[in-house]
Structure 1
Amino acid sequence: MAGGEEVRPMGRYEDAHQRALAAAVRQVLDRLDAHATGAAGPAPAEAGGEAARPAAPADRPGSALETVVSCFCLSPFERDVLVLAAAAETDPTTGPRCAAACGDPARAHPTFALALAALDGPHWSALTPVGPLRRWRLVELADETAPTTSRLRVDERILHFLAGVPYLDARLHGLVRRRAEGEGELPPGHRTAADRVTGSWGAADLEGPPQVELVGADRETRWDVAAAAAGQAGLALYTTSADDLPAEPAERDALARLWQREAILLPAALLVETGDRPTAERQGERRAALEAFLAELAVPLILSSDDPRPGGGAVRDRVTVGPLTPQEQLRLWTRALDGVEGVGERDMRDLVAQFSLPAHVIRAAGAAVRRAPGGDAGRLAWTAGLAEARMSLDELGRRIEPRASWNDLVLGERQRDVLQEAVAHVRQRATVYQEWGFEAVLRRGLGVTALFAGGSGTGKTLAAEVIAGELGVDLFVIDLSQVVSKYIGETEKNLRRVFDAAERGGALLLFDEADALFGKRSDVKDSHDRYANLEVSYLLMRMEAYRGLAVLTTNMKQALDPAFMRRIRFVVDFPFPGVPERAEIWRRVVPEQTPSEGLDADRLAQLTVAGGSIRNIALAAAFLAAEEGTPLRMRHMLAAARTEYLKLERSLTPSEVRGWV
C-alpha cells in the first residue's frame, strides 16, 4: 500500500480499511465477552498452547490490517493484541468489556495480562521488547516496568494506517523529505543506472541488505536517478542528509527502527546524501555514525555521494551516474527549446559544444528562454546556459564579467595572433574533435591550455577577459591560496571541484600567480615532496582533459618545470610596455566623456609603469579632479602618480615628470 505525506480525503478506500478493522475489533471483543462469561477457558501459555487454539480468521485480503500482519510477521495472537489496543481507540465499549473480562473495574483498558488470559494462542514472547509488537512500536506500554499489567496503547501512526489513512510519521518530518520523480524522461545512460539500482535491490535477498551506493554526476541528477529507480520498484523516495543523523547510539537505533517501519508501511526507499563535504575533523566521526545507522536497516536504501566512499564499511553495489553524452545533451536541448522560434540546429550544436549541463539544468535553461520577453532566442539560450552553469563555480572563484574588447588590449601583433589562435582552438573544438574525427586519433591532451608570462600589471588578466568576452563565456579567477591545502590529498580534491564545476559551462579558468603551485617539481626526498609532485601531475592531467580554456599566469616563467611547459599549448609573453605602448594605453584609459584639459599622452608615457598602474593613476586623478570640480589636468595626474609610486615603493624622477606642470 503506497502512501505519501498528504492525507487523502475520506472515501471508499478508507471505508474498506475501517470496515476490515471494525470486523477484527468485534471478533476480539467477542472473545473478551466469552472470557468474561466463562464460555471458554484460556489456553495455557506453555509450549503447545498456541496450537491448542484455532487460528484467528484470515483478515480481508488487501486490508491495512492484513498488510501489517504480513509485513511485520505477526502471529495470530500478536495480531489480536494489536487489534485489542486499537479497539480502545475505536470502540467506546472496549473499556467496560476489558474491566468485565479481567474482573477488575479499575482495569478498564487493554493489558498483556488480559490478552494472555482471554485471546487465542497466547505466547509470552509477544511481550518482549524484541518481539515485533514492541520492536516496531506497533503498541506501546504506558509503564515499561510493568509489562503485563501496564496499559497497552496502539501507536498513533499505526492506528491511522489501520484506518486507511497513510502519511509520513510526524516524528520524521523535517528529517526526511519526499522526492518525486523528475520531469521528463531520463536520458538512456541515466535510465540504465536506475535499472541497475532496482536490480541490485531485487538481488539483495541473496547477497545482503538492499543497499546501493550511487556516485558521480551532481546531486540533483543522482536524486532523479534514485527517484526513477524507486518508481520502478513501486516505492516512494525520501531523502535525508548524513549530517542530520543523530550521533547518540540510542537515538540512532530508534531512528533506524522508525524509518524501517515507515519504509514498510508507505512503502518507500531512503536516500542518504553524503555528498556534503564535512570538515576534516568530522569525517571519521560522521562516517562511523552513518555506517552504524545503515547496519540497522534491511529496507531499500541508496547512499548518494559525489565520490565513492573509502573502504571499511559494508560491501554495497556501486552504481556510477556518468555524464551525458553529446547526443543525449542535444536531445535534451531540442526538447527544452522545442517550438521556440529563432533557435536552429546549429544553435543547438553550439550549446552542446560549449556547455556540459545536467538534464535538470538544461530543462531549467529552456524554461528561462520560454519565459523571456522576446529577443534573439539563440542568444537567450546561450545566456541561460551561462547563468545555470556559473552557479556551481561562484563559490569556488571570483567571477569577472567580460567587458573588455580587443581594442582595450595594447599588445604586440605576435602576442595578439597567439591569443586569437587560442580563441579559434576553443571555438572550433567540436568541429575538429568530433566532426573531423581528431578526438578518436589523439584521444588525450585535447584541452586548450595557455600560459601568460609577464610582470604584474602587464595585461595578463585583461587578455583573459578579452578572450572570455570573445568566446561568450565567464572568466573565473581561481585563488590558489584557497586551493592549495596542507592536508594530503585536499589540494587535488579542491582542484577537482574547480574543474568539475567549470566543465558545465566551459568557463575560462585563470589560475593567477601559478608559480606558487607549479614551480619546479622537487626531487623526491620525503613524502611531502612526493605528494607535491602528485598535485602538479593531477593539475596537468585535468588541464589536458578540460573542455574549456585554462590559463595560468606567472611572474617568473623561468621558475616553471620544463616538463610542465611542454604540456602547455600556448605560451604568451607579456613584456613590460615601452614608451609607445604606454602612450597608447594613456590615450585609451581616459574615457571620451571625461572633461579634461591639457592632457599629454606622450608626456604621461614617460612614467615607467605598467598598464595596471596607469589605470590606477588615471582613476585616482579623476577622483581628485571631480572633488575639485574642475576638468582633469596634468597636475591631477602628477598627484595621483606620486601616490601610486609610494605604493610601489619608488620615487618619481625628474625625467619622468619633466614638462608636466
Structure 2
Amino acid sequence: MTEEDAATLPGAVRALLDRLDQHVDGVEPETALPRPDALDALASVFGLSAFECEVLLLCAAAELDAATAGRCAAASGSSRTYPTFSLALATLTDPHWSALTPVSPLRRWRLVELDEEAGLTTGRLRIDERILHFLLGAPYLDVRLHGLLRRAPVPKALPPSYEEAADRIATGWAEGDPDAPLRAELVGSDARTRSDIAAAAAAACDLNLYAMDAGDVPTDPAERDLLARLWQREAVLLPAALLLEIDEPGREQAAAAEAFLESTAVPLVLSSQEPRPSSRSRGERVTVPSLNNDEQLQLWQRAFADVPDVSDADIGNLVAQFSLPPHVVSAAAAAAQRDASGANAAGVAWRAGLDEARMGLDELGRRIEPAAGWGDLVLPDRQLRVLREIVAHVRQRATVHHEWGFSSTLRNGLGVTALFAGGSGTGKTLAAEVMARELGLDLFIIDLSQVVSKYIGETEKNLRKVFDAAERGGALLLFDEADALFGKRSEVKDSHDRYANLEVSYLLMRMEAYRGLAILTTNMKKALDTAFMRRIRFVVDFPFPAESERADIWRKVVPEQAPVKDLEPELLAQLTVAGGSIRNIALSGAFLAAEEGEHLQMRHMLAAAHTEYLKLERSLTPSEVQKWV
C-alpha cells in the first residue's frame, strides 16, 4: 500500500486491521498508523490524542470493512466481534485510561457512542454516523438538528449601514467582551433583516449561518446539554455560527435560552426586536440602523431597475412613502414585475409596497379599505379646506422636507399630526377614510382604550409596537378614543400619575416623528390639556350637522339603485341625529322594506328611527316626525 493510499480513510482502516493481525501474531508494530486529513482535522479541533484517533479508526473499520468483526474477535480472544475499549487499550498506540472518561473528547463531543450497559471496557463502541460521514468527506448538518435549525442565506448585497453592523458583529466575535468573545447581540428591525446582517457577518468570517428559535431550546437540562454539544460540534465541523432568535419567551423558556447561551462556546448572535435584560454578558450589542434617504433611494432603484415603466418620479414617491428593509423592497419589486401590465406598473408597485408594509400592523389595529371620496363628506367649507391642507402636507412632504431642505433647518416635529374633535357620528372616521383614499394609503384604527394599560410601562410598549410597524408603510393611523389617554394633565401624586404623563408625551413624540399621518379623535376637546394641544399641527372641529347638512347626508346615504317611494330628505332631516345615526336608520329601514318586499318608504324610516332612538336612550318628538306618514 502506497503512502497516498494510506492517507485515505479506507487505507488507514486497512493499516489498522493489519495492526490487529500483528497483535494476534504477537508482532510488535514498527510504525504509527497513517492518519487521513479529515482525521487530522478532528484531532486538531477536538484535541484528540494519537490513541483517541486510532480508536476512531477502529470504530470506522467496523462500519467500512466486513473483515473487522473476525479480526476484533481474534485480537480480543473472545466472542466480541466489535470494537471495545479493552481491545483498543490492548492493541493501539500509547493507550490511556482517560480516553474512557465522559469528559474526554471522544465521549464529550459524542464522536463515539458506548454501550455502557455491557460494561465500560467491554461494551460495544460505535462511531457517530455524522463523524463517519465527515471522515469520508461527506459533510452535512446532523440529522438530529434537522427541524430545529435552518440555513440562513447570505444576502447578495446590503446597504452600507447594514454592512457596518455586520462588520461590528464580526469584529465583536474576534475582539469583543472577554467574558463573551464569541457572542454578539443584534436588536431592532425585523427578524429577516437581522438574519441578513448576521449572515453577512458570518460570511465575512468564512462561516455558514444557521438560525434557531429560542422557543425550541429544550427546558430539560439533559436535553439542552445534548443540543448544546451537538451544535458546538456542528459549528466546528461545518464550520458555522448560530443565530438564536428570541421573540417573547415565557420565564421558563427564557431561562432555558440563557442556559443554552452560557453552554455554547462558538460564534453566536442573539437576535431580538428589543434588548432583553440579563445579568450575563452577551458580547457586542449591535442595533440595526435606520436606512437614510440615500440608502432607501438606492435600494428602490436597484430593486426596480428591471421593472418597466416605473419612472424616477414613481421611485421618488415610493421612497417618500415607504421605509422598508431590503428583502421587503425586493419582494415588492418582484410582485410588480410579475403583475405589472406596463401602463400601471407604478400602481402595482405601490400596492405591493402596501401589502408588504401592512403585515406588521394587521395584528395591532383594525384596517379599513378606504372607499369613501370627498363627495361623501358633508362638512362646512372651512373644515374641508383644512382636511385638504392636511393631505397636501402628507403628499408634498418629500419635496418640502428633502428637496427644499426644511428637514435640515427644522429637524424636529416634521410629522403630520391632527386632532379630530366632535361628537360621535359627526364624520371623524369617514374623513380619515377619505384622506387615506386620496393618499393611496391604508387606514388603521387604533383603539387607545385597548392600548392603555394599568401596568406601568406597558402602554408605552404597546404604542412603540404600533409606530414601529407603521413606519414601514407610512399608513394613516387613527387613534380612536384619545380621551382614554389624554385629559387635563394631572398633578403628580404617585408613580402612576407620573407615568401617565410620560405615556402622553411619548405618544406625541412618536406622532411628531412619524413619517406618515397620525390623527387623534376625541369627543371632549375641552378636556384636553392645552400644553398637549400646542404640539398638534392641525385641529379640526366636526360640528353637529345643521338641518340642511343632514338633508345632504340623507341624499347621499340612500343609493341610486335602491327602490324608494316618496322619500323626502328634507323631512328626514328633521331628526336631530348625526351622520352615523343617519346611516344606521337608512340601513335598518332598507332591511325592513326588503323583508316586506316593498319599496323603501317613510314608514320604514320611522320604524328604524324608533329603534335607533331607543339605542341612544332618546324619544322621538312630534316635531321631528311631523308630516312623515
Q: How does 1:400-479 map to 2 (within 5 A)?
A: 400-479=368-447
Counterpart of 1:10 in structure 2 is none
Equivalents in 1 of 2:513, 2:352: separation in Å?
A: 25
CA drift of 1:357 comes to 0.8
Conserved 8 A contact 1:32-1:97: yes
- Match of 1:137, as an amino acid? R
Partner residue of 2:169 out of 197, 201, 210: 197
Matched, 1:70 2:44: yes
Q: Is the 8 A contact 2:479 2:521 kept in 1?
A: yes
What letter matches 2:390 in structure 1?
A: A
Match among 465, 472, 491 for residue 459 of structure 2: 491
Is 1:30 aligned to 2:18, yes or no? yes
Shift of 1:398: 0.5
Instruction: Judge conservation of contact 2:412–2:512 (CA < 8 Å) in 1.
Output: yes
Asked if the contact 1:291–1:314 (Cα under 8 Å) also holds between the matched residues in 2, the reply is: no
Task: Give the alignment partner of residue 260 of structure 2, picking from 284, 293, 310.
Answer: 293
Q: Which runs of 5+ in 2 are unaligned?
A: none
1:578: Cα distance to partner? 1.1
Amino acid at match of 1:81: V
Does the aligned pair in 1 maintain the 2:235–2:266 contact within 8 Å? Answer: yes
TM-aligned CA distance change 1:465 to 1:435, over 3 Å: same
d(CA) in 2 for partners of 1:541 and 1:22?
Answer: 70
Aligned to 1:258: 230
CA distance in 2, matches of 1:94, 1:445: 80
The one of 361, 368, 377 equivalent to 1:393 is 361
Residues in 2 aligned to 1:231 and 1:17: alpha-carbon distance in whole angstroms: 35
Which of residues 571, 583, 595 in structure 1 aligns to 2:539? 571
Is 1:109 the equivalent of 2:82?
yes
Alignment of 1:557-636 (within 5 A): 557-636=525-604
Aligned to 2:189: 217
Residues 160 and 630 (structure 1), Cα distance of their counterparts in 2 relative to 1, 3 Å cut: same
Counterpart-to-counterpart distance in 1, 2:586 and 2:180: 72
Aligned-pair CA distance for 1:636: 1.0
Report the CA distance between 1:54 and its aligned residue.
6.8
Secondary structure of the residue that 1:32 maps to in structure 2? helix
Q: CA deviation at 1:207?
A: 6.1
Does 2:201 align with 1:233?
Answer: no
Matches of 2:559 and 2:124, distance apart in 1: 87
Q: Which residue of 1 aligns with 2:214?
A: 242
2: CA distance between counterparts of 1:17 and 1:595? 95
Name the CA distance, whole Å, in 2 between partners of 1:369 and 1:462: 30
Per the alignment, in what secondary structure is the counterpart of residue 8 of structure 2?
Answer: helix
CA RMSD of aligned residues (A): 1.8
How many equivalent residue pairs? 625
SS in 2 for 1:270: strand
Aligned to 1:270: 242
1:455/1:576 contact within 8 Å kept: yes
Residues 1:400 and 1:26: Cα distance change in structure 2 (over 3 Å): same
Q: Following the alignment from structure 1 to structure 2, what is the Cα–Cα distance between the partners of residues 285 and 422? A: 49
| Deviation sequence 1:592-642 (CA, Å, 0-9, x none) | 111211111111010000000000111111111122222211111111111
Q: CA deviation at 1:487?
A: 2.5
Secondary structure at 2:485's aligned position in 1? helix
User: In the alignment, which residue of structure 1 is the partner of 2:61?
Assistant: 87
How far the C-alpha of 1:295 sits from its partner, in A, is 0.8
**Partner amino acid, structure 1, of 2:298:** R
Does the Cα contact within 8 Å between 2:5 and 2:11 map onto a contact in 1? no
- Matched with 1:173 is 146
Tell me the distance in 1 between the aligned counterparts of 2:7 and 2:65.
13
Give the TM-score normalised by the residue count of structure 1. Answer: 0.92
1:166–1:626 CA distance, 2 compared to 1 (3 A):
same
Cα shift readout 1:400-444 (whole Å, capped 9, x = no counterpart): 111111111111111111111111111111111111111111111
- When structure 1 is superposed on structure 2, of 637-646 and 145-154 the one drifting more is 145-154
Cα distance between partner residues in 2 of 1:399 and 1:277: 25
1:103 CA drift (Å): 1.5
**Aligned 8 A contact 1:221 1:360 in 2:** yes
Contact 2:307–2:333, Cα closer than 8 Å, also in 1: no
1:364 pairs with 2:331 = yes
* CA positional deviation for 1:312: 1.2
> Is contact 1:211–1:316 with CA below 8 Å preserved after alignment?
yes
Q: Match for 2:95: what amino acid?
A: P
Tell me the amino acid that sits aligned with residue 11 of structure 2.
A
Q: Distance in 2 between matches of 1:400 and 1:201?
A: 47
Alignment partners' CA distance in 2, 1:216 and 1:199: 19
SS of residue matched to 2:185: strand
Q: Report which stretch shifted further, 344-353 or 512-521.
A: 512-521
CA offsets, 1:11-60, max 9 Å, x none?
xxxxx99971112212222222222222129xxxxxxxxxxx97654x34
Displacement of 1:555 in angstroms is 0.6
298 and 544 in structure 1: CA distance in 2 versus 1, 3 angstrom threshold? same
**Correspondence 1:98 to 2:72:** yes
Change (3 A) 1:454 1:229: same
Distance change in 2, residues 1:449/1:365 (3 Å) = same
1:310 matched residue in structure 2: 277
Residue 248 of structure 2 aligns with an amino acid whose one-letter code is R
Q: Is the 8 A contact 1:214 1:320 kept in 2?
A: yes
Give unpaired runs (5+ residues) of structure 1.
1-15, 42-52
User: Which amino acid counterpart does residue 16 of structure 2 have in structure 1?
Assistant: V
Query: What is the CA deviation profile of residues 104-123 of structure 1, one whole-angstrom value per residue up to 9, with x for unaligned ones?
Result: 2x122111111111111111
Q: Is the 8 A contact 2:6 2:15 kept in 1?
A: no
Q: Identity, % of aligned pairs?
A: 68
**Alpha-carbon spacing, 1:128–1:159, altered in 2? closer, same or farther (3 Å):** same
Alpha-carbon distance in 2 for matches of 1:277, 1:394: 18
AA of the residue aligned to 2:80? R
CA contact (8 A) 1:55 1:121 kept: no
**Distance between the aligned counterparts of 1:205 and 1:391, measured in 2?**
37
- 2:525 is equivalent to residue 530 of structure 1: no
Inter-partner Cα distance in structure 2 for 1:300 and 1:328: 29
Deviation at 1:342, TM superposition (A): 2.2
Q: Distance in 1 between matches of 2:83 and 2:67?
A: 12
- Of 78, 85, 92, 1:119 maps to 92
- CA spacing shift, 1:205–1:624, aligned 2, 3 Å: closer
Match in the other structure for 1:517: 485
- Residue 212 of structure 1 deviates from its aligned partner by 0.8
Tell me how far 1:373 sits from its aligned partner.
4.8
Deviation string 1:253-279 (CA, Å, 9 cap, x unpaired) is: 1110011011111111110001x224x
Matched residues in 2 for 1:576 and 1:465: separation?
A: 19
DSSP 3-state at the match of 1:319? strand
- Displacement over 6 Å in runs of 4+: 16-19
8 Å contact kept, 1:209–1:297: no
What letter matches 1:187 in structure 2? P
| CA distance in 2: counterparts of 1:209 and 1:77, whole angstroms | 32
